Structure 1
Amino acid sequence: MRVNVLLAGLLALAAGLGAYRATTGPSERLLVIDDADLVRTTASGMRTVEALTLPPNAGGPAGVSASLPIAGAAQLNGLIGRGVAHGFDGFVYENRDRDHSTLQSSQFPALTFLRYGPKLVQRHRDYGLAQDIALPVPLIGNSSTALTGRPQWRSQTRAAMTSHRGTMAAASHYQANAIYFYPEHQDHDAVDMFPANWPYVVTSQGSSGSDQPFLMSAAMTLAAFRPDTWAALERGGLVAPTLQMILRRNLLGVNGRADYLSNVAHPVVFHGKRLRPERMIAQAAAMLPDTIPPMVRLTVEEEDFGDRAGLAGLSERLFSTPSAIARLWRGPQYERSLTVSAGDTVDPNGRELTFHWFVVTGDASIEPIGDKGDTARLTLQWQDAVDIPSFPPDELAQRRVSRVDIAVVADNGANLSAPAMISVAFPTHQQRSYTPDAQGKMHLSSIDYNAVARSAPFDPVLFWSAPWVDHLEYDAAGQAVAIRRQEGQKSLRISPDGAVAGGRVRHMLPRQISTEMELTYEIVPQD
C-alpha cells in the first residue's frame, strides 16, 4: 500500500500530474493517491485505500477565509476558535472537473484536497461522474460537467440514475460518508428530464459553477459539528444523510417541521439562492451525538412492476437501492401499486422511530400498513405530464414533469432524517387514452407512440418512439381481443399474443442508442 500525503513543500509531484493546475499556499493540504494505492472491496466492488492517514495542518489557519463569497465564514471561525467545532480535520474535498469549478485552498486552507496520480489521470478516473473509488474517510466532491454529445446528453446526476454502475456507486458513496455535487445543465429547465429523485447527490440548478455555493455551504457545515458528534457520524456512516437533512431543513421557505415534511424541502434540483448556510452551520453545531437521525432504508415487499413490459419487453425496475427506488411505467395498466417497507431503518442511538410518508411530486395514494407506520401501500394511476410551479427564486415560473416522487422520513423524536425516495416515471412522450368499460374499470384504448413526429422530449436511454398508433379492442367481459395498428395508410390487426395473419409480430429496438430510438417490427412466419 502506497499513499502519498503531501504538504505544500512537495508540490513538485502534484505539478507533474499534468492535468491538474497546482496551487500553492503556506498551509495547503494535499492527499495524492494512484492506482497502486487502491484495493477492491469484496462487499460492493468499490475500490478503496486501506489505513488512510490524512495530512496534518502545517500551522496554517484552522478556519476559512473571511473573503468567502457566501455567508457563514465568521460564524464558523468563531466556533472553531472556541474549540466547539471539530473543524476541517477528518474529511476530504475532491474536485472532478480538473479545477474548472473548484474550492480554493486560499479560502479553505485547513481543508484536505484530494488529487489523483498519473495512472488514474491517464485513465480519466479523476474526471466526471464519481464511480467506483471510495475513500475510508468522509468526502465532499463535485464535477461541474455534463455529457453534452447527442443523443445521450445528460447531467452527471441523470447519467448516474440511468446506468446500473452509476446508481450503485452513488448509493455506495452515500453510505460511506461521501456526497457529490453536480449541475443539472439543461436537465431541469422547461422540462424535468430526471427519471427519479434521490438523496445520494446534490444537483444544482444551472450549469458550470452553480455547484459552488453548495460546496462552500457543505464544507462549512461539516466543519461545524462538535468533535463527539462528528466521530459518531463518521462511525455510523451517517455524514452524507445528515448533511442532506441539514441542507433541506434550512432551505429558504423551509421554516418548520410541516415545511420539511412537504414538497418544499425535497426538489430533485436545488437553487443556490435557497441556501441559508448560517442556519446550516448553526444546526450542525447544535447537534448532539444522541440526536443524530438515521438513514432510511427501504425494501419493496410487493409490486406489480415487472422485468419485462411494453412492446419492447424492457424492465420497469430502474433501480432498487437502500434509500431510493425507481420504477418506469411501461405496461398498459391504468393503476399500479407497490408495498414498501422502511422497517430496516435503525436509529443510531436506539431511539424509537416513527415514519412520515408524503407525496413530493405528482399524485399517489399512500396507505400505511401496521401500527408502526414503517410500511405503506402506494397506489398510482396513469398521469399525463403536468406543469408544476417552481420554488422562488427560480426564474422559471413552472416546468413540465412526468414523474411521481414519494418521500419517507424517519423521526427519532429529536431530529427528522434525510428522505428516502420512491419514484415512478411515466412515458408521457406517448399519447395514451384510457376509457372506462361497462363496469367502470379503466382500459387503455389507444397509444400514439410517435414522439419523434410530435417533437415530444424523451430519454433515449430509457424510452423509445415508434411511427404508429395502436388502438386496443375489448370484448364485453373487458378482455383485450385485438390491437389495430395504424401506420400511415397501413393498418394491421394483431392479437393480444402478437399473432397476425401469416405469422407473428416481433418488435425490435436498434442495437445502438440513437436520438430517435425508434422501435420497429417485422412479421415472422409461424413455426
Structure 2
Amino acid sequence: MLRLLAAVAMMACLWPAGTVSAREVVLGADDVRRFGSGPLVAPDIRALPADPALPVIDPAVTGNAAILLKRLVSRGVSHGFGGILYENRDRGHSSLPESLFPNLTFLKYDDTLKEQWRDYGPADEVLIPALLFGNSSTAHTGGAEARSLSRSAMTQPGKAALAFRNYESNSIYIYPEHRDHDAVDLYPGNWPYQIISQGSSGSDLPFMKAVAMTLAAFPGDTRAALERGGLIAPTVQMILRRNLSPVRSREGYLSPSAHPTVFDAKWLQPARMVSQAAAMRPEDIAPMVKLQVLEDGFLRQAGLAGLDEHLYTTPSAIARVWRDIAWEREITVSASPTKDPNGRDLVFEWVILRGDPERIRIEPLDPEGRAARITLAWHDEFTLPPLSLDDSVQRRSSRVDIGVFAWNGRTESAPAFLSVSFPTHQARVYESAPDGTLRIASIDYDAQGRGAAYDPLLHWSAGWSDRFTYAADGSPAGWTRTQGGSSTRFGLGGRSEGAAITYVLDRGDSGWTVLQEVRDTGN
C-alpha cells in the first residue's frame, strides 16, 4: 500500500514562512492526452513568469545560499524562479512552504485528476515536459513488497523507462529511501534519474530547497540552453554531486564519495551549488551520458527459475541481476550515443564506484574510452567503505556500480551507471577447478530457513541446497540435492531417478516468493 511516511524532524527542516501567497497553475483533465500507447502527457503546462514586485526569497530567510542567490538575481546574473514549476505529490505531507520562494509556480491538479490519484505517489502517471521539480514522501509500506518509490521503480517492469522519461524532460523528483538504505543498501541499481534522500518524511526538504535555488541560479541563456537540450536534470545532478562536502576535487568527483545510491542532507552545500550554477555558461554545458550494450553475457533465462538477468536497460542506467552459477561474467558497453551539446570531442572515464577492484576489470576499447569491456566475478555481500570522515554507518551491499563520465574539456558530466546486483541471500561456495579457474561448488537456496532477507520481486527461496559434481576432466556432471535430511542425485539434464524436474514460483499468502519442484515421470 502506498502511504505517507512517518514524519521525522519536520520542524527542523522548515524555514520561517512569510505572508506572500503561492502562485499556481492547475492541471486539468482536459490538459492531458495520450499519444498512441504511451503515457499521459500535459504538453502545454508552463510555469508563470517572474513578478518583479515579489522578493526572490522570503525576507525572513537567512543563510549563505539565500543571501548569495538574492544578490545574483538582483544583479541580473541569475534568472530567478520565474518559469520553474514545483509539484508536491504527497498532498502536502512534506511540501515546500508556499511563501519560501514567492516567484516559484506551484503545480496543482483538478478534482478529476485527484480522484484518479494522478497527483499522488511516484511521478509516472503524467509526463509534464517543462522545467519542473517535485517530491513525494510516500512509500509502499505493507507486506513483503514494502519499499521506497525509487526501489519500486527499479523493480517494476517498465518503471525505469518512465524514470528516464522524466530525466530527459527536465524533471527532477526527490523521494526518501524510507528503510531501503539503513543497515543494508537494498537497491538493486544506481541511477541519476531521481534524488533519493536518507531518511523518511522531511528528509527530502533540504534537497528540494537546494535544487530550487540551484535552478534559480542559472543565468537566463544557460537555463534556456539546458531546457532546449533536455539537460536540466543531468546538470543539477552533476552540481549536487560535485558540491557534496566530501567532494573537494575532480578526483573526488570521480570517486564513490560523489555517487552513493542515497544522499544524506548533512553533505549538502547549497551555497556552492548556487555558485556553480550561476557561473555556468551555455558553452560549459556537459552532455547526458547515454549507453548502449554491445555484447551481453547476462542471460534472458538463468538459474533454476529461468528468470531474466536484465533488470532494466535505459539510456543512462543499466542494471543486471546475477542469477547464473558462473564465477565470472562479461558485458561490453558503448557510450557512443553521447553527444556534446556544443559539438565538442568527448573523453570518457569508466570508474568502479562500488565493488571489489580485484574482481572487476574494465578494458577501454579505444583511446577516448567510448566503449569498454567489463568483466566481473561473483561478489558476496560486503561492507561499504565510509564516504566521508564523519560517516560511521557500516552499511552492507550486494551490488557493483560502474560509473561512466564524459569530459568535454570544460565540464564533467553527470554519471551514467552500469549496476550488477548479486543474490547473496543464496549461500554460494566456489572452488578451484583443475584449470585454475573457479567453479560453483554448492548453493544453499534456503534463505527463509536461514533467515536471510531477499526481495520477493526479484528473488526466491527454496528449501534445499545443491552440491555440484564434476567429471575427472573438470566438466559438469550434475548435482546432489539435500532437502529435509534426504539427498537426491540430479544429472546434467535436470533429471532425477528418471523424472524430469521443472520449477514453479509461488508467492503464496505471505507474498514471499518460493521456488517449488514439479516432477514429471512421463506416466
The normalised TM-score by structure 1 is 0.92
In 2 relative to 1, CA 396–457 (structure 1 residues): closer, same or farther, beyond 3 Å?
Answer: farther
Deviation string, structure 1 residues 138-157 (Cα, Å, up to 9, x no partner): 11010111111011010111
Aligned to 2:44: 51
- 1:421-432 equivalences under 5 Å are 421-432=417-428
Contact 2:231 2:288 in 1 (8 A): yes
Please give the alpha-carbon distance, in whole angstroms, between the structure 1 residues aligned to 2:159 and 2:61: 33
Q: Which amino acid aligns with 1:136?
A: P
Which of 491, 494, 519 is matched with 1:523 structurally?
A: 519
Aligned to 1:291: 284
Aligned to 2:317: 324
1:69 deviates by 7.3
1:383 deviates by 0.8
Deviation string, structure 1 residues 224-268 (Cα, Å, up to 9, x no partner): 000000000000000000000000000001111000011110000
Give the secondary structure class of the aligned counterpart of 1:72: helix
Matched, 1:352 2:348: no
Give the secondary structure class of the aligned counterpart of 1:509: strand
Please give the alpha-carbon distance, in whole angstroms, between the structure 2 residues aligned to 1:445 and 1:266: 35
Contact 1:62 1:80 in 2 (8 A): no
Please give the alpha-carbon distance, in whole angstroms, between the structure 1 residues aligned to 2:522 and 2:365: 48
Matched, 1:306 2:296: no
Aligned to 1:229: 222
* RMSD (Å), alpha carbons: 1.8
Please give the alpha-carbon distance, in whole angstroms, between the structure 1 residues aligned to 2:91 and 2:389: 30
Deviation string, structure 1 residues 464-497 (Cα, Å, up to 9, x no partner): 1111100111112222111110002121111122
Matched, 1:506 2:502: yes
Which of 263, 271, 281 is matched with 2:274 structurally?
A: 281
Which of 231, 253, 257 is matched with 2:250 structurally?
A: 257
Deviation string, structure 1 residues 41-67 (Cα, Å, up to 9, x no partner): 45x823222333433445542411244
Contact 1:460 1:516 in 2 (8 A): yes
1:521 deviates by 0.7
- 1:10-89 equivalences under 5 Å are 26-42=20-36, 45-58=38-51, 60-68=53-61, 71-89=64-82
Matched, 1:495 2:491: yes
Matched, 1:388 2:384: yes
Contact 2:48 2:84 in 1 (8 A): no
Which of 427, 452, 470 is matched with 2:448 structurally?
A: 452
1:515 deviates by 4.4
Aligned to 2:141: 148
1:218 deviates by 0.2
Q: Which amino acid aligns with 2:181?
A: H
Contact 2:257 2:388 in 1 (8 A): no
Please give the alpha-carbon distance, in whole angstroms, between the structure 1 residues aligned to 2:388 and 2:340: 34
Please give the alpha-carbon distance, in whole angstroms, between the structure 1 residues aligned to 2:488 and 2:464: 10
Please give the alpha-carbon distance, in whole angstroms, between the structure 1 residues aligned to 2:271 and 2:155: 35
Q: Which amino acid aligns with 1:47?
A: L
1:184 deviates by 0.7
Contact 2:85 2:132 in 1 (8 A): yes
Contact 2:46 2:85 in 1 (8 A): no
Aligned to 1:116: 109
Contact 1:199 1:419 in 2 (8 A): yes
In 2 relative to 1, CA 502–243 (structure 1 residues): closer, same or farther, beyond 3 Å?
Answer: same
How many percent of aligned residue pairs carry the same amino acid?
A: 48
Give the secondary structure class of the aligned counterpart of 2:514: coil
Give the secondary structure class of the aligned counterpart of 1:77: helix
Please give the alpha-carbon distance, in whole angstroms, between the structure 2 residues aligned to 1:33 and 1:160: 24
Aligned to 2:12: none
Deviation string, structure 1 residues 338-374 (Cα, Å, up to 9, x no partner): 1000011000000110001110111321110022211
Which of 178, 188, 207 is matched with 1:185 structurally?
A: 178
Which piece of structure 1 moves more, 248-257 or 32-41? 32-41
Which of 157, 168, 182 is matched with 1:164 structurally?
A: 157
Q: Which amino acid aligns with 1:403?
A: R
Which piece of structure 1 moves more, 160-169 or 319-328? 160-169
The normalised TM-score by structure 2 is 0.93
Please give the alpha-carbon distance, in whole angstroms, between the structure 2 residues aligned to 1:357 and 1:226: 31
Give the secondary structure class of the aligned counterpart of 2:262: coil
Please give the alpha-carbon distance, in whole angstroms, between the structure 2 residues aligned to 1:86 and 1:58: 12
Gaps of 5+ in 1: 1-22
Aligned to 1:215: 208
1:390 deviates by 3.2
Aligned to 2:84: 91
Equivalent pairs counted in the alignment come to: 504
Deviation string, structure 1 residues 49-101 (Cα, Å, up to 9, x no partner): 23334334455424112444764111101111111111111221010111111
Aligned to 1:12: none
Q: Which amino acid aligns with 1:412?
A: N
Contact 1:460 1:515 in 2 (8 A): yes
Which piece of structure 1 moves more, 426-435 or 159-168? 159-168
- 1:337-486 equivalences under 5 Å are 337-363=330-356, 364-392=360-388, 396-486=392-482
Give the secondary structure class of the aligned counterpart of 1:244: helix
Give the secondary structure class of the aligned counterpart of 2:239: helix
1:500 deviates by 1.4
1:393 deviates by 7.3
Contact 2:189 2:420 in 1 (8 A): yes
Contact 1:182 1:211 in 2 (8 A): yes
Q: Which amino acid aligns with 1:33?
A: L
Deviation string, structure 1 residues 108-156 (Cα, Å, up to 9, x no partner): 1110001111111112111111103121211101011111101101011
Contact 1:389 1:397 in 2 (8 A): no
Give the secondary structure class of the aligned counterpart of 2:43: coil
Which piece of structure 1 moves more, 267-276 or 89-98? 89-98
Contact 2:18 2:59 in 1 (8 A): no
Contact 1:452 1:516 in 2 (8 A): no
Contact 1:461 1:513 in 2 (8 A): no
Which piece of structure 1 moves more, 130-139 or 96-105? 130-139
Give the secondary structure class of the aligned counterpart of 2:453: coil
Q: Which amino acid aligns with 1:35?
A: A
Aligned to 1:3: none
Q: Which amino acid aligns with 1:194?
A: Y
Aligned to 1:269: 262
Contact 2:84 2:131 in 1 (8 A): yes
